[in-house]
Amino acid sequence: MRDIVIKTNVHACQMNELTEEERELVEIAKNQTNNSYCPYSKFHVGAAAKLENGIIIKGANQENAAYPSGLCAERSALFAAGANYPDVPVTTLAIACFTDGHFTDEPGSPCGSCRQVMIETEHRYGKPMKVILYGEKELFVFDNASDLMPVGFFSEDLKG
């Protein structure tokens, strides 16, 4: 047996270490938690995707009484971006979570399905997509989506 150690990179930082443009995107993601429809989990997630052409696509988690029919905030934003601007790369994605009357102290951690969609988005356009996870205590910044999902599944893997 051969062990493979997988390392990934994440920058922990504060809001004042982000660019003004990134801070603006984070504020939009935070504001988007107001548009979350989460009567079941009461966990409000907001997302904001910045496109290369400067347009910002907003997302928020949308739950459903048939639980699996709901969708996370990140995917709602990325799918809306793909549906409306299919040829424009997504350069940055910001995410914020709000529950029990406050934003989470720790950066929200995207689920595996969202990570998979993030790497496909990045791969599709062949450009890195920065991912910024907001937390009250600190933020996590990933220079690209692949850092969030090492050993991801790509279209090439379908070829066997």
Tell me which residues are annotated as active site: 74
Half-sphere exposure of residue 112: CA atoms within 13 angstroms, side-chain side: 4
Half-sphere exposure of residue 154: CA atoms within 13 angstroms, side-chain side: 14
22 versus 93: smaller Cβ distance to ligand THU: 93
User: What is the rounded distance in angstroms from the CA atom of residue 148 to the CA atom of residue 31?
Assistant: 24
Whole-number minimum distance, CB 110 to ligand THU, in Å? 4
Assess contact for 128 and 141: CB atoms under 8 A. no
Selected from 82, 89, 107, 110, the binder of ligand THU by CB under 6 A is: 110
Q: Is 61 in the site for ligand THU (CB under 6 A)?
A: yes
CB neighbours of residue 152 within 10 Å: 17
Selected from 108, 129, 131, 149, the binder of ligand THU by CB under 6 A is: 108
Instruction: Report the candidate in 127, 57, 9 with the shortest Cα–Cα distance to residue 119.
Output: 127
Q: Is 41 in the site for ligand THU (CB under 6 A)?
A: yes
Stretch that binds ligand THU, among 10-18, 21-29, 103-111, 147-155 (CB under 6 A): 103-111
Interface with ligand THU in residues 9-38 (CB under 6 A): 38
Q: Is 46 in the site for ligand THU (CB under 6 A)?
A: no
> Distance of CA 115 to CAs 1, 7, 46, 53, Å?
28, 16, 15, 23
Whole-number minimum distance, CB 125 to ligand THU, in Å? 21
Give the interface with ligand THU as residue ranges (CB under 6 A): 38, 41, 43, 45, 61, 63, 70, 72-74, 108, 110-111, 114
